[in-house]
Structure 1
Amino acid sequence: MSIAERGFLTEDRIEARAGNRRGFCSRDIVCRQGDPVGEIYRIERGTVMLYQILRDGRRQVVDVICTGDYLGFGDGSVQDCFAETLTNCEVTAWRIDDAQKCVVWRDAFSRAMQRKLGAMHDHVTLLGKKTALERVASMLMRFVPACSGRLCPGTPPAGYAELTHEIHMSRQEIADYLGLTLETVSRAISQLKREGLIEAPRPSQIVIKDLCRLCRLAVLH
């Protein structure tokens, strides 16, 4: 008996059946905190910021996710956070009842959640033990996945000179992600510039000048 005959669907068949590949512009809301969970989304292209709003209006950015990551599953019944696009994005959406029948989808989702669990542990360590400067350095190292965290080979990438990245988050959003104030983030970036680790030609752009020193400052290697 085939998988489909047993009531399970392949991921391709679910995508064809649901047909809901969607495009979002920068700063669109994909789902809202408190909404019922009806669909689960996979990011195919782009970057999304997840945040919670407390009853008194304060915001905590809980994650920044990108291609291959999933969102929208909340606590199983309601969305536990807002999902706001930081860039133009494409996502694939599955209805919950369809997704639960897909063996291929469940395997891919499980692997993605394992990676996310490790990232969450790293972020708890960042919030609990790292200084403000180390937190900002860790945030910047996220833009160099081949040389950050457990993947750091101990040497810069071949041909490395400097790395330029567009920062799609405001300074306040970075502060809300790192558990810092806006003023503290601004001071940390200024210090990194004075020490020659980075340049900031524009508020939305960071140039990493000394990758290894930044990596060590982030306590990643």
Structure 2
Amino acid sequence: MHPQFASTTAPRAMPQLYAVAPRARPSVALPSPAPVLGSLVTMRREQSVFSAGEDADYLYRVKSGCIRLTNQMQDGRRQIIEFHMPEDMFGTESLGRHALSAEAVSDAVLLRYRRQSLEQHAAENPAAARRLYDVACLGLRAAHRRMLVLGRKAAMERVASFLIDMSERIGRDEPTRFDLPMSRQDIGDYLGLTIETVSRAMSQLRREALIDLPTPHHVVLRDIAALTALSGDKG
């Protein structure tokens, strides 16, 4: 167990596996009953889940809160690779050792699964193997979309695309109103922008009546169609 975990409870049977994939987030459930147990883990804000270079013995599913995957560049700058929201799986990208670090953006509750148990179950169950394959494919789809955002979009387009994505991932019940768990610095490190550029873009979107910001973290999308058009994403 990672030494910084706040607490764990008794193992729980794993009902479902999910993978991060903007725009399309289908469940990939293991056949029931699944003889794979997950342990409930409570994380505090800014607490480390795992660090780059550590043994990748576990996979994780977010029950509540938000987790960020980060990469520390040689010059000391931080790059955020992904934000994981409730029902997302993470840790699936590792082969033996973690290439990235994972930290809690907010207080979070995770389900932790032993990788060896999942792999053994998949080896004995073709349907489970297919669903784990789907997890990997959805992760690749998200990575490809992120490459498009960083490589082909201007700053305003990146921020608009990010807000549309967050509205679908966080504001599922009310997609026009949601609270961002991450800071402006986090958003900048995710989009490859400075915190000043992110703040200017948010202010510009507000002046153009595309969004409203009642508080720094609470976002109201006032014109989703116009915001989607600005982002360059397909509606």
What do the CA deviations read for 1:134-192 (whole angstroms, capped 9, x no partner)?
0000000012328xxxxxxxxxx9xx8x8221111111110110011111111111110
1:22 aligns with 2:38: no
**Partner residue of 2:221?**
208
TM-score (norm 2): 0.76
| Secondary structure, aligned partner of 1:44 | strand
Map 1:161-200 → 2, pairs under 5 A: 163-200=176-213
Could you tell me how far apart the structure 1 residues matched to 2:79 and 2:218 are? 23
Cα 1:44–1:11 change in 2 (3 A) is farther
Q: Is the 8 A contact 1:99 1:106 kept in 2?
A: no
Q: CA RMSD in A?
A: 2.3
| Secondary structure, aligned partner of 1:183 | helix
Q: Is the 8 A contact 2:92 2:136 kept in 1?
A: no
Larger-gyration structure (1/2): 1
| Secondary structure, aligned partner of 2:187 | helix
1:127 aligns with 2:140: no
Q: Give the alignment partner of residue 65 of structure 1, picking from 67, 81, 84.
A: 84
Could you tell me how far apart the structure 1 residues matched to 2:40 and 2:147 are? 33
Q: Is the 8 A contact 1:42 1:69 kept in 2?
A: yes
Give, as a single letter, the amino acid of the residue that structure 2 aligns with 1:113.
Answer: A
What do the CA deviations read for 1:193-213 (whole angstroms, capped 9, x no partner)?
110001112111111111111
Could you tell me how far apart the structure 2 residues matched to 1:117 and 1:164 are? 28
Q: Is the 8 A contact 1:50 1:83 kept in 2?
A: yes
1:74 offset after TM fit, Å? 4.6
Structure 2: tracts of 5 or more residues without a match: 1-30
Could you tell me how far apart the structure 2 residues matched to 1:121 and 1:214 are? 21
Structure 1: tracts of 5 or more residues without a match: 1-8, 147-156
- Stretch moving more, 44-53 or 105-114: 105-114
TM-score (norm 1): 0.80
Q: Is the 8 A contact 2:80 2:190 kept in 1?
A: yes
**Partner residue of 1:4?**
none
Write out the 4+ residue segments of structure 1 that deviate beyond 4 Å after TM superposition: none
How many aligned positions are there?
197
**Partner residue of 2:231?**
218
What do the CA deviations read for 1:103-132 (whole angstroms, capped 9, x no partner)?
255333222222221111111011011110
**Partner residue of 2:26?**
none
| Secondary structure, aligned partner of 1:67 | coil
| Secondary structure, aligned partner of 1:201 | coil
Cα 1:109–1:69 change in 2 (3 A) is farther
Q: Is the 8 A contact 1:70 1:109 kept in 2?
A: no
Could you tell me how far apart the structure 2 residues matched to 1:174 and 1:110 are? 29
Give, as a single letter, the amino acid of the residue that structure 2 aligns with 1:13.
Answer: P
Could you tell me how far apart the structure 2 residues matched to 1:74 and 1:32 are? 14
Q: Give the alignment partner of residue 34 of structure 2, picking from 5, 8, 12.
A: 12
**Partner residue of 1:5?**
none
